[in-house]
């Protein structure tokens, strides 16, 4: 989506400058180029602009006065400081050196002034959200920490290395330009199947769309009903099986569950015509059928994460409409069913962009995983872009090895028809929440037909699936619902190992009303939500039976060892 990103940036900037109140000095009326009043500015917006301007110039005056005091030997006070958690200005020079302190504080004052002007604009909330996002991109880009001459650490390292750090950085830049992405981790430190995705198991079913992995039991007895995991098709599944100490798959096996997991194929040109319905009928539904058959269980418990949760819910709605009761419970991790407030991803979605996709790759083609990966990086630019620009190119260093970032960089393509349909019917038109509005696999879809118990996890700081949007799913599903809010974000909030028992989560059995009301009476629980979930899912897992040492069955014989071939295919 880089083209959409650039177009959105320009459009947002144009709308912003058009929206700012152009006033005369006497009565603050809004004037056009001929001096005529166009429309009245709300007194609130006018007051925000005036107050922001007054505060800005007052702080700038204090800043320059303090800077002068620092020159003559008086220790200056701080006028502006970065927010907690902002790691860009940790070096001592940003505070002790008058010049760099002036740069830092002036930048922060300008950034806050721009943010206040954005909030004072007369755009509607949807357009203001876009403007807020693109203004933040500009603010992050303009940081003095991102440039050689204005970053004290970069300057010092260049001097001490006699320029070799800058030469190494230029070499890294050329390498990244060749591969078309910013390196965010040491790729050589990991290998799928050796250092990540190492849980023991076998591929017991495969078709052109996915491989089904069955994991080896880790307990003498297991619950009769297995757990089927449907991960998002926009990423590789092994985020749920990184390394033994933070593997959700291993945790579930250790707790006595038989675990099956869908490993989506990384689409190549032979999948350029694949549609959304195929992911349901030949993907999710086939996986449910195979897991139930292999385990000889009456039902399975199903879990979907992110887009995998949307797919799983869609498939379950189709199955229930056709009288299929083979799923005992459903768990949705940070998944959207109501897309009315899709968070920052929504800034990239409009009619023009979706129509363009439909007219191009929507008729047959692939959406490159590299482009999708770039979009997700822009959502957290100060964590996933600029630190690596500074580290790799300005300081000439190699990024550290980090399993989660290795997974993050292992992108997947998407079939154009499936992706275009998903954009229009979910993000743009929000059709899934309307009973009967969509027909999938020849069946009108009504999420209210999903009448089995459901466990819905959202995370407090999720920038991809805002937790209040995820909460709306409680009003759409037809069964008894347990909603849980975890700490942290979209990835770290989910991958919160029970063994480490860090962070916290909120619970409240009274699901109803809006998200704020739910949170107001929710109880905060210390530790990982994994422990809470496993107790919930065990209530729907059936009796204990002896664990089977042989994976698969006569119909679904083991094809190869986990993690299988499909997950190892890299995006072009």
Element (H, E) at 282: none
Element (H, E) at 535: helix 529-538
Query: Looking at residue 113, what is its pLDDT?
Result: 87
Banded pLDDT at 121 (limits 50, 70, 90): confident
CB 186 within 8 Å of CB 513: no
CB 12 within 8 Å of CB 19: no
Q: Rounded CA gap, 102 and 68, in Å? A: 10
Q: What is the DSSP string of 517-534?
A: HHHHTPEEEES-HHHHHH
In the three-class reduction of DSSP (H, G, I as helix; E, B as strand; rest coil), residue 45 is classed as helix
Handedness of CA 263, 269, 270, 276 (dihedral sign): positive
pLDDT tens readout for residues 264-305: 999 999 999 999 999 999 999 999 999 999 999 999 999 999
Spell out the domain ranges in the chain: 2-150, 201-347+402-568
Sheet strands side by side (includes 454-459): 523-526, 504-507, 481-486, 454-459, 327-333, 300-305, 227-230, 259-264, 210-215, 201-206, 560-561
The predicted model gives 23-52 an average pLDDT of 50
Q: Rounded CA gap, 342 and 425, in Å? A: 13
Q: How many residues does the chain have?
A: 572
Q: Rounded CA gap, 451 and 448, in Å? A: 7
pLDDT: which is higher, 18 or 180? 180
CB 517 within 8 Å of CB 471: no
CB 327 within 8 Å of CB 253: no
Query: Looking at residue 268, what is its pLDDT?
Result: 94
Q: Rounded CA gap, 216 and 212, in Å? A: 13
| Token pair listed for 66 | 């303090």
Q: 289, 240, 293: which is closest to 263 by C-alpha?
A: 240
Banded pLDDT at 19 (limits 50, 70, 90): very low
**Tokens 């110039």 sit at which residue?**
57
pLDDT tens readout for residues 439-491: 999 999 999 999 999 999 999 999 999 999 999 999 999 999 999 999 999 99
Using omega within 30 degrees of 0 as the cis cutoff, is the peptide bond preceding 285 cis? no
Q: Looking at the predicted structure, is the pLDDT value of residue 346 above 80?
A: yes
User: In Å, what is the CA distance from 146 to each residue of 17, 109, 143, 166, 382?
Assistant: 26, 17, 6, 14, 10
The predicted model gives 503-507 an average pLDDT of 96
| Token pair listed for 105 | 């504080």
pLDDT: which is higher, 136 or 3? 136
| Token pair listed for 11 | 């459009």
Q: Rounded CA gap, 495 and 248, in Å? A: 7
Q: Looking at the predicted structure, is the pLDDT value of residue 86 above 70?
A: yes
Q: What is the DSSP string of 486-500?
A: ESS-TTTTT---TTT
User: Is the CATH number 3.40.50.1820 carried by domain 201-347+402-568?
Assistant: yes
pLDDT tens readout for residues 210-220: 999 999 999 99
Q: Rounded CA gap, 551 and 231, in Å? A: 21
CB 544 within 8 Å of CB 550: no
CB 5 within 8 Å of CB 348: yes
Q: Rounded CA gap, 370 and 375, in Å? A: 9
Displacement of CA 221 from its chain's centroid (Å) = 36
CB 452 within 8 Å of CB 327: yes
| pTM: predicted TM-score of the whole model, two decimal places | 0.87
Q: Rounded CA gap, 460 and 470, in Å? A: 11
Q: What is the DSSP string of 138-199?
A: HHHHT-GGGSGGG-HHHHHHHHHTTTHHHHHHHHHHHHHHHHTS---S-GGG--BTTTBS--
| Token pair listed for 465 | 């699936």
CB 449 within 8 Å of CB 321: yes
Q: Looking at the predicted structure, is the pLDDT value of residue 383 above 50?
A: yes
Q: Which residues are catalytic?
A: 306
Banded pLDDT at 49 (limits 50, 70, 90): low
């Amino acid at each position: 989506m880089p083209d959409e990103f650039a177009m959105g940036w320009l459009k947002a900037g144009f709308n912003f400058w058009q929206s700012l109140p152009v006033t005369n000095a006497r009565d603050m009326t809004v004037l056009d180029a001929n001096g005529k009043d166009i429309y009245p500015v709300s007194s609130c917006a006018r007051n925000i602009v005036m107050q922001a301007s007054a505060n800005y110039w007052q702080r700038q005056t204090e800043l320059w006065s303090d800077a002068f005091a620092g020159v003559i030997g008086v220790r200056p006070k701080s006028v502006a400081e970065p927010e907690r958690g902002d790691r860009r200005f940790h070096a001592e020079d940003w505070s002790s050196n008058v010049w760099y302190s002036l740069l830092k504080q002036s930048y922060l004052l300008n950034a806050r002034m721009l943010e206040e002007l954005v909030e004072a604009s007369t755009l509607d909330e949807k357009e203001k959200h876009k403007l807020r996002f693109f203004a933040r991109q500009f603010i992050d880009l303009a940081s003095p920490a991102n440039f050689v001459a204005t970053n004290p650490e970069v300057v010092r390292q260049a001097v001490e290395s006699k320029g070799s750090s800058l030469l190494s950085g230029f070499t890294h830049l050329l390498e990244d330009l060749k591969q078309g992405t910013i390196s965010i981790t040491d790729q050589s430190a990991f290998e799928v199947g050796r250092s990540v995705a190492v849980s023991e198991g076998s591929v017991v079913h495969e078709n052109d769309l996915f491989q089904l992995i069955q994991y080896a039991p880790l307990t003498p007895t297991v619950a009769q009903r297995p757990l089927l995991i449907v991960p998002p098709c926009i990423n590789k599944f092994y985020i749920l099986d990184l390394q033994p100490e933070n593997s959700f798959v291993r945790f579930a096996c250790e707790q006595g569950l038989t675990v099956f997991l869908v490993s989506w194929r990384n689409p190549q040109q032979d999948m350029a015509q694949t549609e959304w319905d195929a992911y349901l009928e030949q993907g999710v539904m086939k996986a449910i059928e195979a897991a139930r058959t292999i385990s000889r269980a009456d039902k399975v418990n199903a879990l979907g994460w992110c887009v995998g949760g949307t797919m799983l819910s869609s498939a379950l709605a189709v199955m229930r409409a056709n009288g299929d009761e083979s799923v005992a419970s459903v768990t949705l991790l940070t998944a959207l069913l109501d897309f009315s407030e899709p968070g920052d991803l929504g800034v990239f979605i409009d009619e023009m962009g979706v129509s363009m996709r439909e007219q191009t790759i929507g008729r047959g083609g692939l959406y490159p995983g590299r482009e999708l990966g770039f979009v997700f990086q822009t959502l957290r630019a100060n964590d996933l872009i600029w630190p690596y620009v500074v580290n790799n190119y300005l300081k000439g260093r190699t990024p550290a090895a980090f399993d989660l970032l290795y997974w993050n960089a292992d992108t997947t393509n998407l079939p154009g028809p499936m992706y275009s349909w998903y954009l229009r019917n979910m993000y743009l038109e929000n059709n899934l929440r309307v009973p009967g509005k969509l027909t999938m696999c020849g069946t009108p879809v009504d999420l209210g037909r999903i009448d089995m118990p459901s466990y819905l996890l959202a995370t407090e700081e999720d920038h991809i699936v805002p937790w209040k949007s995820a909460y709306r799913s409680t009003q759409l599903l037809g069964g008894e619902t347990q909603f849980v809010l975890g700490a942290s974000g979209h990835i770290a909030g989910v991958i919160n190992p029970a063994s480490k028992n860090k962070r916290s989560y909120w619970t409240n059995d009274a699901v109803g009303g809006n998200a704020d009301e739910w949170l107001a009476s929710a109880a905060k629980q210390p530790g990982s939500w994994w422990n809470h979930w496993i107790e919930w899912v065990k209530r729907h897992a059936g009796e204990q039976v002896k664990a089977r040492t042989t994976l698969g069955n006569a119909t679904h014989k083991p094809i190869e060892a986990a993690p299988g071939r499909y997950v190892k295919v890299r995006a072009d």
